[in-house]
Amino acid sequence: MATKARERGPARPQVKVPPIEPPAAPTKRGVTLLGVGFCVAFVAMLFFAFVADVIREQEQFALDTVGNAVLHAIASPALDALMNLFTTIGSVPVVGFVFAVVAGFLLYRRHRAEAGFLAAAIGGSVALNSVLKLFYQRPRPPLPWANVLPDYSFPSGHSMNSLVFYLAIALIIWGRAGRRTGSIAVVIALVIAIAVGISRVYLGYHYVSDVVGGFAAGLAWLFVVSISFELVPANWARRPWARRTTKR
């Protein structure tokens, strides 16, 4: 018997894995916010469908015929510099750099769910925008004072990605820092996105409907991702499976 025990080797120590904490029951406020999120996403989808249907029929909105000219009429060197700054904030290099910094910080603080949410939001937005552009194939505005870019115009990628990205960061701040700080972050994110959208029309890269369509598509996508990651409502942001409880 002793010989057989030696052949089998020493017994392996038993490692006890603490149980996963069960999900918390949603609060009444959480269910309400979740319902609001669904409504916002649905309305945004309907509005985008309306704008896209008009564009697909090769029609133009009234604002498309005057929007670029009206903004160009107030052009000045100082305003040109400001609008170029805003459009740069919504560009892929800047958004990519900010994403790397924020995602790295979230991973460093072990907020993996929030980092994944941000990656899904902006990654999906970029991919969805590319697909929509190829589907509708709307040419850029033919304006004498603007550089006509080689890709398509609808929906505006700068506008869509800026709204999704900066508002996603604001939602993360809301979930971590609370409603007061989160509300300020949401307002700042919306101001940035709107400024980027206006700059695209001012510089002649997009029609007004391109920007509005980008905002609608971006808002719908963001709320779909937010609901999926339980970041809306805010009190579901902390993923229960990321925490383990230990028995004493």
Return the pLDDT at 7: 54
Q: How many CB atoms lie within 10 A of CB 29?
A: 11
Tokens 């910094």 locate to 101
Higher pLDDT, 229 or 162: 162
Q: What is the mean pLDDT of residues 191-197?
A: 95
- The overall average pLDDT reported for the chain is 80
pLDDT in tens, 124-167: 999 999 999 999 888 888 887 777 777 888 899 999 999 999 99
Return the pLDDT at 222: 92
**pLDDT class of 33 with cuts at 50, 70, 90:** low
**pLDDT class of 230 with cuts at 50, 70, 90:** low
**pLDDT class of 20 with cuts at 50, 70, 90:** very low
Return the pLDDT at 248: 40
Taking Cα atoms as reference points, which of 155, 127, 244, 147 lies closest to residue 203? 147
Burial class (CB in 10 A: 0-12, 13-18, 19+), 57: exposed
Collapse the DSSP code of 20 into the 3-class scheme (helix H, G, I; strand E, B; otherwise coil) and give the result: strand
Higher pLDDT, 89 or 227: 89
Return the pLDDT at 204: 87
Task: Tell me the C-alpha distance between 5 and 126, whole Å.
Answer: 62
pLDDT in tens, 197-206: 999 999 989 8
Q: What is the mean pLDDT of residues 188-197?
A: 95
Q: What is the mean pLDDT of residues 27-48?
A: 71
What distances in angstroms separate CA 121 from CA 42, 127, 155, 222, one per listed residue? 17, 10, 17, 6
pLDDT at 82 over 80: yes
